[in-house]
A and B are shown apart, each in its own frame.
Chain A
Amino acid sequence: MAIRLKDYTEKISPLSGGHRLCPGCGAPTAVHQGLMGIDSPLVVVNATGCLEVSTTVYPFSAWRVPWIHTAFENAGAGVSGVEAAYIALKKRGKIDKDIKFVTFGGDGGTYDIGLQSLSGALERGHDFTYICYNNQGYMNTGAQRSSATPRRANATTSPAGTVIPGKLQRAKDLTAIVEAHHIPYVAQTTLFNATDVAEKVKKAVETPGPAFVNILVPCVLFWGIDPALQHEICRLAADTRFWPVYEVENGKWKITYKPKKRVPIEEFLKPQARYRHLFKGDTSKALLEQAQADIEFEWQELLDRCGETWDPAD
């Protein structure tokens, strides 16, 4: 089901212009790219976060499709209720359309406060797709660390200081946690290739039962990047293997993008102000080596899960 971008230019994105997300924000791009391949009528459930707030500044809404937000920690339960109502009303002949359900949550609303509600919805097997637009921290409240914030990143509640070099802990592997619910489709991608995002989300939406797509999206403010670098940073995230691009279909793990060559992690870190402290002072070399070592460890873990090998042209 290869997607041809040209075919989609006539389609209107479920998210209109006129939203108040920052210039260069990755979240709306994730929505546009993710939903452009969906042909069915959609209902969107949104956890509290930048995307929710900035697209629905009352009395305006940037959503062309039905959309609902209740709170931060409960998007999984929110979509469960809507989907349950749909099934009930359809069974009773009050709805005749085939509707699909998509949930958006940031990493705070997904990895942290919303994890229980998401886990419940996955276990119950509702037919929905959960998209985590993951910018690796609490951006809506001013760049605090979340359990998705990577090790060594500077965040406002894990600041890089003279003694502590940013966040000390590894990010939670949420995609693997979701996969452990044995749902039919789980994927991880980033905004490096619109076709990849569109195809993964389309597959997720068209798969009956719960599906999950974890999309790494840059936050211009927190990551401290030039707004124009959105696509380039995402490409570097994939090429440096900082954010591996893969999918798990019915328990079968598969890396769907393997970089052709080894790109050092510095190339991803350098353009970002949140990693500025890694390029200064006596500890710089050691910290960058550790960063690379983390990448190699996690990549090997993924290769093992997939039963694959990687032979880049060095």
Chain B
Amino acid sequence: MPRREIISGNWAFAEAMRQINPDVVAAYPITPSTDIPMKFAEFVANGKVDTNFVTVESEHSAITACVTAAAAGARVMTASSANGVALMHEIFPIAAFFRNPIVFGLVNRSLGAPINIHCDHSDSMGERDAGWVHLYCEDAQEAYDSAILAVRLAEHKDILSPVFVCQDGFITSHSFEAVSMLDDETVKSFVGERDADLPLLDVDNPVTYGSFAMSEYYFEIKRQQVEAHRNVLKHYDSVARDYESVSGRFYPKLDKYRTDDADFIVVVMSSASGVVKDVVDELREKGVKAGCLRIRMFRPFPAADVAEVLGKAKAVAVLDRALSIGGTAPLSAEVKSALYDAGAHVPLQSCVYGLGGRDFFPQHAMEIFADLQKGNIRAEERYIGLLE
């Protein structure tokens, strides 16, 4: 039976994993994602899943085992955060290159140093060119739903790409909220069974994975991955609609909150969008045409759709929860690039907020909107909530 329970984002993701019952999970503990493998270990210990759970000795080995298990033909899931994600960096492009449909619970946490356990997006943003699909969730409900949806997205024959399902560390991962969950049978039939292409364990048709490919073919193989991501943009909505048909919940690539007629739009990802949406409502009551565009899918970046939403606005602010020191913050860079391609010259303020778990309050969002209305827009990046 479908149920509604008060659980955390991590537990919600772990619940989805239980229902998916993957063939292999290889994981290593790191705050704040540790709850996911811990909870999953309980499921294993109590016979709630029959997954082969591999308790590896590092994140590097976790993702390596996931990659080889997926190449072998298994359905594979794992989770990690921050420095663990950074340690996996070498292997992420290999997963994408092997077209491994791994679903990965990435619980965003700031990348040390200084060591800090709280949320920002510096960990996943470091992996934005790895060839993985990036989905950023607003709350625990979305983390749960995305885990299930991502299995179908990753294993889509025209896609075959690994997927990061990101949620904000502590803010989402450790906060308890009401989450509606599907019954086990519904999830089981929605995800079906993996039908792997060219599985390594097919000993009658031996294949070689991970060849030494020099300048003659390296480029061509990478070009195929570009195509896979173009196919994500093409097929995502149909997978999301399929999920809607079993859950009643539809998750578009872009969460457009009161943007249709908006003059002033704040672009943001993950949990901070809740704050921005509240402020949008407050401003709308005062007659200000405010809107919030939450980017749920960051890779592939739905640039044309973003430009369509923002192109008509009078001013836009982009909120990044990560820096690109010496350059433009990642989300801001993507949005600017999308507007340029669309020939839209919209005044745009780049803002960086929330690093290392710094709180983001409604007052901050209110000030950002106020500056957009006043036309107080600067070329340089602004830092929200910084002691200065």
Whether chain A touches chain B in the assembled complex (some CB pair under 8 Å):
yes
Which of B128-136, B167-175, B203-211, B292-300 is found at the contact surface with chain A?
A: B203-211
Contact of B64 among A53, A71, A87, A92 (CB under 8 A): A71
Which of A59-67, A201-209, A266-274 is found at the contact surface with chain B?
A: A59-67
**Is the Cβ of B214 less than 8 Å from the Cβ of A68?**
no
Give B351-376 as 1s and 0s: 1 = Cβ < 8 Å from A's Cβ atoms: 00000000000000000000000000
A180 contact set on B, CB distance < 8 A: none
CB of B94 within 8 A of chain A?
yes
Contacts A71-B64, A78-B68, A99-B203 given: A117-B57 contact, CB under 8 Å?
A: yes
CB of A144 within 8 A of chain B?
no
A89 contact set on B, CB distance < 8 A: 23, 72-74, 201
Contacts A81-B72, A89-B72 given: A61-B60 contact, CB under 8 Å?
A: no
**Is the Cβ of B23 less than 8 Å from the Cβ of A92?**
yes
Chain B nearest Cβ from A39, distance in angstroms: 13
Contacts A56-B208, A78-B65, A88-B51 given: A43-B200 contact, CB under 8 Å?
A: yes
Scan residues 50-101 of chain A and give those whose CB is less than 8 A from a CB of chain B: 52-54, 56-59, 61, 63-71, 73-74, 76-82, 84-89, 91-92, 94-95, 97, 99
Contacts A58-B216, A71-B94 given: A80-B56 contact, CB under 8 Å?
A: yes
**Is the Cβ of A88 less than 8 Å from the Cβ of B52?**
yes
Give A251-286 as 1s and 0s: 1 = Cβ < 8 Å from B's Cβ atoms: 000000000000000000000000000000000000
Give the distance in Å from the alpha carbon of A236 to the alpha carbon of B372 in the complex: 81
Chain A nearest Cβ from B76, distance in angstroms: 8
CB of B69 within 8 A of chain A?
yes
Scan residues 56-82 of chain B and give those whose CB is less than 8 A from a CB of chain A: 56-58, 60-62, 64-74, 76
For chain B, the count of residues having a C-beta within 8 Å of the partner chain is 44
Give the distance in Å from the alpha carbon of A168 to the alpha carbon of B90 in the complex: 33
**Is the Cβ of B212 less than 8 Å from the Cβ of A52?**
yes
CB of A292 within 8 A of chain B?
no
Give the distance in Å from the alpha carbon of A43 to the alpha carbon of B71 in the complex: 12
CB of A41 within 8 A of chain B?
yes
Give B324-365 as 1s and 0s: 1 = Cβ < 8 Å from A's Cβ atoms: 000000000000000000000000000000000000000000
Contact of A68 among B54, B62, B68 (CB under 8 A): B68
**Is the Cβ of B61 less than 8 Å from the Cβ of A84?**
no
Give the distance in Å from the alpha carbon of A91 to the alpha carbon of B21 in the complex: 13
CB of B26 within 8 A of chain A?
yes
**Interface hub of A85, A91, A120 (most chain B Cβ within 10 A):** A85
Give the distance in Å from the alpha carbon of A2 to the alpha carbon of B50 in the complex: 40
Chain B nearest Cβ from A140, distance in angstroms: 11
CB of A119 within 8 A of chain B?
yes
**Is the Cβ of B212 less than 8 Å from the Cβ of A67?**
no
Give the distance in Å from the alpha carbon of A86 to the alpha carbon of B23 in the complex: 9
CB of B285 within 8 A of chain A?
no
Give the distance in Å from the alpha carbon of A74 to the alpha carbon of B206 in the complex: 22
A84 contact set on B, CB distance < 8 A: 24, 26, 52, 54, 65, 69, 74
Give the distance in Å from the alpha carbon of A160 to the alpha carbon of B201 in the complex: 47
Chain A nearest Cβ from B178, distance in angstroms: 33
**Interface hub of A57, A65, A79, A94 (most chain B Cβ within 10 A):** A94
User: How many residue pairs at the A-B interface have CB separations less than 8 Å?
Assistant: 168
Give the distance in Å from the alpha carbon of A87 to the alpha carbon of B53 in the complex: 11
Contact of A88 among B68, B74, B206 (CB under 8 A): B74
Interface size band for A: 35 or more
**Is the Cβ of B203 less than 8 Å from the Cβ of A67?**
no
**Is the Cβ of A69 less than 8 Å from the Cβ of B58?**
no
Give the distance in Å from the alpha carbon of A71 to the alpha carbon of B213 in the complex: 14
CB of A301 within 8 A of chain B?
no
Chain B nearest Cβ from A230, distance in angstroms: 24
Chain B nearest Cβ from A161, distance in angstroms: 34
**Is the Cβ of B64 less than 8 Å from the Cβ of A70?**
yes
Give the distance in Å from the alpha carbon of A88 to the alpha carbon of B61 in the complex: 18
**Interface hub of A81, A84, A97 (most chain B Cβ within 10 A):** A81
B90 contact set on A, CB distance < 8 A: 71
Contacts A66-B203, A69-B210, A74-B61 given: A85-B56 contact, CB under 8 Å?
A: no
Contacts A74-B91, A80-B54, A82-B200 given: A58-B217 contact, CB under 8 Å?
A: yes
CB of A116 within 8 A of chain B?
yes
Chain A nearest Cβ from B187, distance in angstroms: 17
Chain B nearest Cβ from A214, distance in angstroms: 21
CB of B55 within 8 A of chain A?
yes
Give the distance in Å from the alpha carbon of A123 to the alpha carbon of B61 in the complex: 13
Chain A nearest Cβ from B387, distance in angstroms: 40
Give the distance in Å from the alpha carbon of A73 to the alpha carbon of B55 in the complex: 18
Query: Can you list 12 contacts pairing A with B, beta carbon distance less than 8 Å?
Result: A68-B209, A77-B60, A80-B65, A82-B68, A84-B65, A85-B24, A87-B52, A88-B23, A88-B50, A116-B61, A119-B57, A124-B56
Q: A70-B68, A82-B68 provided; 4 other pairs, C-beta below 8 A?
A: A77-B58, A80-B61, A91-B50, A124-B54
* For the complex of A and B, 4 pairs with smallest distance between CB atoms: A120-B57, A81-B65, A81-B68, A77-B61
Binding site for B on A (CB under 8 A): 41-43, 45-46, 52-54, 56-59, 61, 63-71, 73-74, 76-82, 84-89, 91-92, 94-95, 97, 99, 116-117, 119-120, 123-124
Binding site for A on B (CB under 8 A): 23-24, 26, 50-52, 54-58, 60-62, 64-74, 76, 90-91, 94, 200-203, 206-214, 216-217
